Amino acid sequence: MVKRYYRKLRGYAFDPSFSSTIERRQTNEVIYKIKWEKISPGPCGDYIEIIDYDPTKQVFYEPLNLIEEYVLSDYGLPLSAGDPKFHQQQVYVVVMSIISQFEKALGRKVIWSRMIDKDDSGRTEFNHEFVEKLRIYPHALRQQNAFYSPQKVALLFGYFQAAEHWTGNNVPKSAVFTCLSPDIVAHETTHAILDSLHPYLRKDTNDDMLAFHEGFADIIALLQRFTFQSVVEEQIRNSRGDLLSPQNLLGDLAIQFGQAVSQNRRALRSFLVENDKDGKIQLIKPDPSKLASTTDPHARGGILVAAVFDAFARLYKHRVANLIRLATNGTGILAQGEIDPDLVQCLSKEACDIANKLMLICIRALDYCPPVDLDLGDYLRALITADVEHSPEDEDGLRYGLLESFRSWGVVPTDVNNYSVESLMWQPLEEYADKKTQVDALKKAIHYIFNPDMGSRYKRGYIANTRINEVIRSIEKILRENERKAIFEESKRLCAAVHYMFDKKFAYYVEDLEQLLGMNFKDISYHFEDRVFGREIKLRAKARNVFQVYRCRPFIQHNNRTGNSSKLLLITFLQKVYVDLKGSSYQGFFLDDKYDFRGGSTVIIDLSTYEIKYAIVKKISSSQRLKSQLEYSMNRIGEFENAALLMQSEEPFAALHIH
């Protein structure tokens, strides 16, 4: 039997409501190549189920059946904004493309899950549950909104009626569907995947958590546009190769992107280009001081997008300089008229290549993020670390492009004292741990927990590890298994076993060992200045000897360039304490006058040597972090007041997206 690799389906490359112009007619239809999978009507595949139910009409639209003859024989259904079945196809191809981008970058499966905090009787019970498929409702709302619902593990897309006035390519009164916009679908899908990887990034504890979620989703949506070389070629032809001219590719892209996600999410529109006095589109000059004075999550997210896209622009300019020299006999000035088709091809190839590499690194950086309280500076450090890991020599100059653009947008970490690759990379444990004895003890513990030689065999200085086979078996099974449910369940088992052993080991070797990993099992006291009257504030959290091994994920990272492959293990430690606010100026504002404060670390271990490559720590005992979280939450309290009105008590992303 012939093995199928791809299912090819037609779809829009841009939102059709913004591209129904004659120039766009051809480029807008593209063929999406989707990994072959067994599929039921919906379409419902391994990862997603599309259920086209419109609750505003209480109507089910007939599902697309991809194995029907007439669909199968000709790249799926023809493009049609007026046929719900085609909408299902469009959503299917975009969501699946994004999923496979993530899998390609991370080298592992995307797995959905949900956290259940309460059981049916309302008793608090933590449970992390496998969810087989992300559910997608292409026509769920009658509003200019689309969102990811962590509670339902679902994407809800809205549709609306174009306004009565004629702006842009708008046709008054026509139906506009958010599910037809690849940008919006990519954006929402990214929210869902990011949440599946880092559920604690949804907890809104500082200026940057929501900003990051938004900005990151925009980055992926934007870079995703460069996956179709034909589309890029068209743009390059029209712009005569000048990507950086705001009137052309960049401006065009950004404006379209802005229009598509309009009103609510203007990230790119307002951070990359602006209209000058004559109504001409201008590039916005990066302003490093802007970030400090911006608090709105979308605006901060916009700065992140701008920084990444700026890096893209710099890299492109740098990379194509030689091509342009070649094509112009060294003058750098292109002849008038259309540029050479070969040159178009070469330039587009470069643009797509850079975009692709940037996207990979942006996704890989997720593995190098702290488990809680992420800020944009942390993300830059994660980007740099991920890039060093994957391309130690920086052949493409990616790191320097990122460094340059992030600096010019003012996205710099606060905790490094110089702005170089070496200091921006996360440091190995030895670099910042005070006590060498602790580091050694932790290394010993890791050796003990993961080294198969520590099994039943007695070794001097060690007690035999009776659960070692369990751990080894789990690691092996996770690496071998292809079925997502099995991987999920096995990972849970591994987490439990690893947790059990760390729990035993923390106290065993040396006191306060857990503190290396950002936790603290003793009473914690916090001291900081009250910002209103300069008074000293003292808060306490009772000792809580409870922690979570939230993730424990082995993965193999193969580097095509160096030929090396690393066998890594990523562990996330999380601890929660309850800070007592009674008697302080924070009394009366939080439930039971307690503040749930989290700390912990993301630890990356090299399985071949049992060395800790990186430990990315957010200390639970940090007064500074507690202070800024409390102040941040106090300032935000008012903003949740409208939750009932917007029926969003449980939907963090719905509120964020509404205009």
Segment 154 to 173, residues that bind other proteins, using CB under 8 A: 154, 156, 158-165
Locate the DSSP E strands across 162-268.
Answer: 175-177
Determine, following the binding rule CB under 8 A, whether residue 648 of this chain makes contact with other proteins.
Answer: yes
Please, what sign has the CA dihedral across residues 211, 216, 217, 223? Answer: positive
> 33-45 burial, b for 16+ CB within 10 Å, e for fewer?
bbbeeebeebbbb
Residue 37 CB, shortest distance to other proteins, in Å, is 17
Residue 80 CB, shortest distance to other proteins, in Å, is 10
One of 15, 52, 188, 378 touching other proteins (CB under 8 A): 52
Determine, following the binding rule CB under 8 A, whether residue 197 of this chain makes contact with other proteins.
Answer: no
| Choice between 602 and 648, CB closer to other proteins | 648
- Applying CB under 8 A, the span of 180-188, 584-592, 597-605, 617-625 interacting with other proteins comes to 584-592
Alpha-carbon distance of 448 to 492, in angstroms, equals 20
One of 559, 562, 587, 608 touching other proteins (CB under 8 A): 587
Identify whether 78 is preceded by a cis peptide bond (ω within 30 of 0): no
Determine, following the binding rule CB under 8 A, whether residue 654 of this chain makes contact with other proteins.
Answer: yes
Please report, for residues 287, 292, 303, the alpha-carbon distance to residue 273 in angstroms, rounded to integers and kept in the order given. Answer: 13, 20, 12
| Choice between 125 and 422, CB closer to other proteins | 125
Strand bridging mode 134-141 / 48-50: parallel
- Applying CB under 8 A, the span of 41-49, 103-111, 189-197, 477-485 interacting with other proteins comes to 41-49
Residue 114 CB, shortest distance to other proteins, in Å, is 9
Q: 564 to 583, contacts with other proteins by CB under 8 A?
A: 583
Determine, following the binding rule CB under 8 A, whether residue 141 of this chain makes contact with other proteins.
Answer: yes
Residue 9 CB, shortest distance to other proteins, in Å, is 18
| Choice between 278 and 434, CB closer to other proteins | 278
Determine, following the binding rule CB under 8 A, whether residue 371 of this chain makes contact with other proteins.
Answer: no
Alpha-carbon distance of 7 to 93, in angstroms, equals 10
- Applying CB under 8 A, the span of 195-203, 413-421, 487-495, 530-538 interacting with other proteins comes to 530-538
| Choice between 458 and 533, CB closer to other proteins | 533
- Applying CB under 8 A, the span of 99-107, 481-489, 558-566, 638-646 interacting with other proteins comes to 638-646
Alpha-carbon distance of 392 to 386, in angstroms, equals 10
One of 152, 203, 290, 493 touching other proteins (CB under 8 A): 152
| Choice between 16 and 63, CB closer to other proteins | 63
Determine, following the binding rule CB under 8 A, whether residue 62 of this chain makes contact with other proteins.
Answer: yes
Residue 258 CB, shortest distance to other proteins, in Å, is 15
| Choice between 65 and 557, CB closer to other proteins | 65
Determine, following the binding rule CB under 8 A, whether residue 488 of this chain makes contact with other proteins.
Answer: no
Please report, for residues 42, 46, 98, 426, 482, the alpha-carbon distance to residue 135 in angstroms, rounded to integers and kept in the order given. Answer: 11, 11, 15, 36, 21
Alpha-carbon distance of 481 to 500, in angstroms, equals 24
Determine, following the binding rule CB under 8 A, whether residue 637 of this chain makes contact with other proteins.
Answer: yes
One of 1, 5, 82, 536 touching other proteins (CB under 8 A): 82
Determine, following the binding rule CB under 8 A, whether residue 635 of this chain makes contact with other proteins.
Answer: yes
Residue 210 CB, shortest distance to other proteins, in Å, is 16
Alpha-carbon distance of 399 to 405, in angstroms, equals 10
> 533-546 burial, b for 16+ CB within 10 Å, e for fewer?
eeeebebbbeebee
| Choice between 138 and 251, CB closer to other proteins | 138
Q: 16 to 35, contacts with other proteins by CB under 8 A?
A: none
Alpha-carbon distance of 626 to 618, in angstroms, equals 11
Alpha-carbon distance of 587 to 584, in angstroms, equals 6
Which residues contact residue 331 at a Cβ distance below 8 angstroms, ignoring those fewer than 6 apart?
none
SS3 154: strand
DSSP states of 41-57? TBTB-SSEEE--EETTT
